[in-house]
């Protein structure tokens, strides 16, 4: 049977303070989940953390194929020193890539680390474009943007008749 930390085709957030192990937990889920395609989004993470993810995924053996786990992983790395618009786009890019594989009949999982840093990027963009701020300077549409992202998780039957899904897991500080 499949191992999913949440029901296949649904979404969940891993909440916690900074330094409490959310990234480690999400990396372990990425390593051991039974999805056909893993889309790991490092949004605003430190460069050395993303290098560690890349190194670990390339050295781990995939129990399904015997090859590197990286062979079934798409890694989207937008580190903290990259432009704010790249951080904003990374979460959307990850969901779109997962939906592409879902539409091809695969079970995909999006690991979004961290949606909090994505929200910070949205706040920076909103302040630069003159959007009126809401609570703590975040854009008024932040709750809608977060909901729209997590709602992209779904289990579907493709036009070709395959059962496929997008499962989304995100870290929230």
Read off the pLDDT of residues 132-154 as tens digits, 9 standing for 90 and up: 888 888 899 899 999 999 999 99
pLDDT averaged over every residue in the chain: 88
Read off the pLDDT of residues 105-124 as tens digits, 9 standing for 90 and up: 999 999 998 888 899 999 99
Q: For residue 112, give the nearest of 125, 121, 103 by alpha carbon.
A: 121
Read off the pLDDT of residues 24-82 as tens digits, 9 standing for 90 and up: 888 888 888 889 999 999 888 888 888 888 888 888 888 778 888 899 999 999 888 88
pLDDT at 6: 64
Q: How far apart are CA 116 and CA 114, in angstroms?
A: 5
Identify the band that residue 173 occupies on the pLDDT scale cut at 50, 70 and 90: confident
**Cis upstream peptide for 114 (omega within 30°):** yes
Residue 41 is given by DSSP the state E
pTM of structure: 0.88
How far is residue 139 CA from its own chain's centroid? 21
Who contacts 129 (Cβ-Cβ below 8 Å, separation ≥6)? none
Who contacts 136 (Cβ-Cβ below 8 Å, separation ≥6)? none
């Amino acid at each position: 049977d499949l191992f999913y930390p949440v029901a296949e085709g649904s979404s969940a957030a891993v909440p916690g303070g900074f330094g409490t192990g959310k990234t480690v937990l999400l990396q372990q889920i990425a390593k051991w989940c039974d999805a056909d395609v893993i889309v790991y989004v490092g949004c605003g993470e430190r460069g050395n953390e993303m290098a560690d993810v890349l190194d670990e995924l390339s050295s781990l053996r995939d129990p399904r194929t015997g090859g590197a786990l990286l062979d079934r992983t798409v890694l989207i790395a937008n580190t903290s020193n990259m432009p704010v618009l790249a951080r904003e786009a990374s979460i959307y890019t990850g969901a779109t890539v997962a939906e592409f594989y879902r539409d091809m009949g695969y079970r995909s999982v999006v690991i979004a680390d961290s949606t909090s840093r994505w929200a910070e990027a949205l706040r920076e963009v909103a302040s630069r474009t003159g959007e009126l701020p809401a609570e703590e300077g975040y854009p008024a549409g932040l709750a809608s943007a977060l909901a729209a992202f997590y709602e992209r998780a779904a289990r579907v039957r493709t036009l070709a008749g395959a059962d496929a899904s997008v499962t989304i897991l995100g870290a929230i500080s």
